[in-house]
Amino acid sequence: MPAPTPATGPPVLPVTFRPTRTRAVLLSVGTVMFAVITAVGLLLEQLSAEERLSFIFTALLFFGVLALLSRPKVVADAAGVTIVNLTRTRRLAWAEILRVNLRPGDPWVFLDLSDGSSLPVLGIQPGIAKAHAIRDARALRTLAEARGAGADNG
């Protein structure tokens, strides 16, 4: 996704923001862990069938946790934004987003909402790809400013 510039304006909708490097690392580690733990469980001759199944179940549990951690994303379209965090998905209209914040030291973006609350957006996090997260946060901010409560969308 190209970063918005004054010449190009906001990104073309629909657009999805997600921490791709973090996601790749989590899913890769999860796959390797699953394979290794399952292989160890199957190769140990002294284990019973139930014990082997417990190895496989444990490996699947580890993979499931890492897959859950790789889930966050932000999907922006003409009608609004869908925030997918670890266990919750929330749909917001553009008018509900007052401000997009990514301050130095923040673990992820926060949205200031019209109801006075703040919503964490785990789909944009500076973790291992700080420049990518800053670019995505600026793009989301540009979209929110162009389409939000103060914008003329008529």
- Other Cβ atoms less than 10 A from the Cβ of 72: the count is 22
Q: What's residue 11's pLDDT?
A: 85
Q: Which residues contact 128 (CB under 8 A, 6 or more apart)?
A: 19, 21, 22, 25
- Does residue 1 surpass a pLDDT of 80? no
- One domain, residues 60 and 125: no
**59 is a domain residue:** yes
Cβ neighbours of 118 (radius 10 Å): 11
Domain total in the chain: 2
> Same domain, yes or no, for 76 and 65?
no
Tell me the mean pLDDT in the region 14-34: 95
Please indicate, yes or no, whether residues 76 and 136 belong to a single structural domain of this protein. yes
Instruction: Tell me which residue has tokens 């946790």.
Output: 65
Q: Is residue 5 part of a domain?
A: no
- Which runs of consecutive H residues, i.e. helices, occur in 1-92? 20-43, 49-69
SS3 of residue 62 by DSSP: helix
Q: For 84-125, how does the pLDDT look when each residue is reduced to its tens digit (9 = 90+)?
A: 999 999 999 999 999 999 999 999 999 999 999 999 999 999
Q: Are residues 117 and 59 in the same domain?
A: no
Give the residue from 69, 94, 129 where a domain finishes. 69
Amino acid at 28: S
Q: Report the alpha-carbon distance of residue 73 to residue 39 in Å, rounded.
A: 32
Count of other CB atoms within 10 angstroms of residue 49: 7
Boundaries of domain holding 135: 72-147
* Cα–Cα distance list, 111 to 44, 46, 96 (Å): 50, 54, 9
Residue 133 lies in a domain: yes
Question: Which residues face 91 on adjacent strands?
Answer: 82
